């Protein structure tokens, strides 16, 4: 790297660290004021009256009615009020999922019976009800999802810095049902009433099997996961099983002019509307989620040279790049939530989700770059460790040659770290570092590690010709001793960044779940003098691939 560029980076780093390493701020008081207004609005809504039998467990062991917790006169602090709302809605929305599963499963089973006994007309009518009932649930589940997604974008650490325990909204769980209902709506399978057409019966059978597969697989699995986590709400009344009530009412009819599938289908239509009214509109979320309402003006970030809207546009432009699709299976931890990249990309950035959206994106990039740094250090350490094994007479020349190759490889891969550093700086300037991150895990800490590495490499101690005893400053020192000294100088830095040792790596493990890393480099099981050059070349290829996969394909090159 050119000396001017290197010193420019060091100077930039010094400037940023002396100015808190952040170029934009959001005022905590305004953030709190906004959510106080939202809570006051929610707490006054009539929908909470329907939850009179629900009690929220407090940290002291006592149970309180949800309305008493969230009302204006309550002495409960704002973050705990939202915790109570999240816990309550997790419980109520889980019951909606259970009701949906019960009724759809019952209808699907009756359709299956009609198929088994070859009742064509009844089969096609039943399948039509089944298909419609799944499709019609889409609006209801979307509304419930929008509520949970909104609650998931509240930064409780900004409301209460010392908060360590968080109530987690069931965002992805409800999205499972939104996604399935949306899929069925797109498919829009047409069942024609023609009992004599065997293809029509086969189509009906496919619909039945598809619905049963979802309900008995993802559907029940999702519900069970919610129930396992949901232990903060007590239902102090005799619970009702709505399906049993409906079956009882249906069987009590003396003259059955309607099939069970149609009866339950008609009931579901009414139920969907009731849920949309009682657990969405009447809880006050309709007004909160409408962006054109001036009474709930979301606080904005203050920038020196740009605006929040321009930053939002830039984030959305970057995340449209194709490379992000390859990261969807990765996840991060933010304020107790496990957040997949798929969820981060699910919706574009806007003024309601901007605060958390930018933190999520920053953490994804920070996690990836930290992981790359660790893998790189581990790989170079393995090369150095092997070189030490041949540092015995008469293999001194071989040892020196191996170390030459290692330093040559390091110099050829420093561009990766230059790009990594500049990208982190640009992201910080665009979005700002997260003030509540652990000091060992924020962007400043990662940039510090990269800077120290670049300082060491560009100190002049690792130039290839310095390993020649004729050119080094200590002509009396043998080549092998000088080479060993160079190895000892660089090893501490590499080992400091070895996973599991540094504070950066410990926090990294808690914040990042990078399973099935897109771009990987594994330490070879066997290294020898014969394959040493190719092992070094793999690191060079890896660094070039990094620039393509985690820089250009993600659109981050647009920032520099």
Do 10 and 119 belong together in one domain?
no
CA dist 132 and 321 (Å) reads: 36
Tokens representing 322? Answer: 């194709």
Residue 338 within any structural domain of the chain: no
Q: What pLDDT does residue 544 have?
A: 95
Q: Are residues 168 and 131 in the same domain?
A: yes
pLDDT for 249-298, tens place per residue?
999 886 677 899 999 999 999 999 999 999 999 999 999 997 665 578 88
Q: Which comes out higher in pLDDT, residue 305 or 132?
A: 132
Confidence of residue 542 (pLDDT cuts 50, 70, 90): very high
Q: Tell which residue, 274, 241, 291, 237, has the closest CA to residue 98.
A: 241
- Residue 17: band (very low, low, confident or very high) from pLDDT cuts 50, 70, 90: very low
Render pLDDT for 289-311 as a digit per residue (tens, 0 to 9): 976 655 788 888 888 888 999 99
Among the listed residues 30, 175, 356, 335, the one whose alpha carbon sits nearest the alpha carbon of residue 38: 30
More confident residue, 321 or 50: 321
3-state helix, strand, coil in the chain (%, to 5): 65, 5, 30
CA dihedral 46, 50, 52, 58 (to 10 degrees): -80
245 and 106 belong to one structural domain = yes
Same domain, 45 and 142: yes
Do 256 and 269 lie in one domain? The reply is yes
Q: Given this model, what pLDDT does residue 267 score?
A: 96
The CA distances from residue 220 to 138, 145, 180, 214, 542, in Å, are 18, 18, 13, 8, 43
Find the mean pLDDT for residues 503-524: 76
* CB-based burial label for 177 (10 Å; 0-12, 13-18, 19+): buried
Q: Listing from the earlier edge strand, what are the strands of the sheet with 54-57?
A: 63-65, 54-57, 233-235
Q: How confident is the model at residue 445 (pLDDT cuts 50, 70, 90)?
A: confident
Question: How many domains are contained in the chain?
Answer: 2
- Looking at the structure, do residues 50 and 189 belong to the same domain, yes or no? yes
Model confidence at 356, in pLDDT bands (50, 70, 90)?
A: very high
The residue length of the chain stands at 560
How far is it, in rounded angstroms, from Cα 305 to Cα 307? 7
Structural domain of 137: 28-294
Residue 90 shares a structural domain with residue 167: yes
Asked if the structure places residue 529 within a domain, the reply is yes
CA distance 325 to 145: 22
* Residue 238 pLDDT > 90: no
276 and 148 in a single domain? The answer is: yes
Q: Which long-range contacts (CB under 8 A, 24 or more apart) does 170-176 make?
A: 170/90, 170/93, 170/94, 170/226, 171/145, 171/343, 172/340, 172/343, 173/97, 173/222, 173/225, 173/226, 174/93, 174/97, 174/141, 174/144, 174/145, 174/148, 175/145, 175/343, 175/346, 176/218, 176/219, 176/222
pLDDT at residue 101, rounded to an integer: 97
Find the mean pLDDT for residues 196-217: 88
DSSP 523: P
Give residue 545's pLDDT. Answer: 94
Return the closest-CA partner of residue 66 out of 55, 81, 78: 55
Q: Is the pLDDT of residue 21 over 50?
A: no
Residue with tokens 């099997």, as numbered in its chain = 209
Residues 6+ positions from 253 with CB-CB distance below 8 Å? none
Average pLDDT of every residue of the chain: 85
Q: Quick one: pLDDT at residue 321? A: 95
- The pLDDT value recorded for residue 507 is 78
What average pLDDT score do residues 501-518 get? 74
Both 13 and 75 in a single domain?
no
Residue 126 in domain: yes
Q: Does residue 400 sit in the same domain as residue 538?
A: yes
Average pLDDT over residues 415-428: 92
Mean pLDDT for 550-560 is: 92
Could you tell me if 257 and 406 lie in one domain? no
The residue from 249, 278, 294 where one domain ends is: 294
Residues 158 and 283 in one domain: yes
DSSP reduced 3-state for 235? strand
Q: Minimal CA–CA distance to 334: which of 501, 506, 154?
A: 154
More confident residue, 237 or 50: 50
């Amino acid at each position: 790297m050119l000396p001017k560029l290197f010193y420019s980076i060091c100077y930039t780093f010094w400037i940023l660290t002396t100015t808190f390493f952040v170029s934009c701020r959001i005022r905590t008081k305004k953030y709190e004021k906004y959510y106080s207004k939202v809570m006051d609005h929610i707490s006054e809504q009539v929908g909470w009256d329907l939850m009179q039998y629900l009690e929220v467990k407090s940290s002291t062991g006592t149970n309180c009615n949800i309305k008493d917790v969230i009302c204006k006169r309550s002495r409960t602090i704002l973050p705990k009020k939202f915790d109570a709302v999240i816990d309550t809605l997790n419980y109520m929305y889980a019951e909606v999922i259970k009701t949906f599963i019960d009724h759809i499963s019952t209808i699907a089973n009756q359709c299956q019976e009609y198929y088994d006994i070859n009742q064509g007309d009844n089969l096609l009518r039943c399948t039509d009800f089944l298909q419609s009932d799944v499709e019609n649930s889409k609006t209801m589940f979307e509304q419930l999802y929008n509520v949970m997604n909104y609650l998931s974008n509240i930064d409780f650490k900004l409301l209460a810095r010392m908060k360590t325990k968080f109530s987690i909204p069931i965002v992805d769980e409800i999205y499972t049902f939104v996604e399935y209902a949306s899929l069925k709506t797109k498919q829009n399978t047409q069942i024609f009433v023609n009992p004599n057409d065997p293809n029509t019966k086969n189509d009906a059978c496919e619909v039945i099997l598809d619905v049963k597969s979802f309900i008995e697989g993802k559907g029940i699995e999702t519900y069970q996961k919610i129930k396992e986590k949901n232990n903060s709400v007590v239902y102090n009344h005799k619970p009702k099983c709505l399906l049993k009530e409906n079956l009882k009412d249906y069987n009590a009819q003396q003259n059955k002019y309607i099939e069970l599938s149609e009866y339950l289908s008609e009931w579901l239509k009414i139920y969907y509307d009731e849920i949309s009214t009682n657990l969405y509109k009447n809880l006050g979320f309709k007004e909160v989620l409408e962006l054109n309402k001036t009474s709930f003006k979301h606080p904005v970030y203050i920038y020196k040279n740009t605006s929040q809207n321009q930053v939002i546009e830039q984030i959305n432009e970057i995340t449209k790049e194709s490379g992000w699709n390859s990261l969807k299976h990765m996840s991060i931890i933010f304020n107790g939530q496990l957040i997949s990249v798929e969820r981060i990309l699910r919706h574009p950035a806007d003024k309601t989700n901007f605060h958390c959206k930018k933190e999520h994106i920053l953490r994804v990039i920070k996690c990836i770059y930290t992981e790359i740094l660790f893998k790189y250090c581990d790989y170079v350490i393995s090369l150095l460790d092997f070189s030490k094994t041949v540092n015995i007479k008469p293999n001194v020349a071989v040892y020196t040659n191996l170390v030459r190759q290692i330093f040559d490889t390091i110099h050829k891969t420093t561009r990766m770290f230059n790009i990594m550093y500049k990208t982190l700086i640009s992201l910080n300037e665009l979005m700002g570092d997260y003030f509540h991150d652990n000091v060992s895990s924020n962007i400043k800490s990662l940039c510090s590690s990269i800077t120290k590495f670049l300082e060491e490499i560009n100190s002049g101690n690792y130039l290839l010709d310095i390993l020649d005893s004729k050119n080094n400053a200590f002509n009396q020192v043998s080549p092998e001793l000088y080479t060993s000294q160079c190895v000892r100088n660089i090893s501490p830095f590499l080992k400091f960044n070895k996973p599991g040792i540094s504070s950066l790596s410990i926090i990294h493990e808690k914040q990042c779940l990078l399973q099935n890393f897109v771009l990987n480099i594994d330490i070879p099981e066997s290294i020898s003098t014969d394959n040493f050059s190719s092992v070094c070349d793999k690191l060079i290829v890896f660094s070039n691939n990094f620039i393509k996969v985690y820089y250009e394909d993600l659109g981050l090159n647009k920032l520099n």
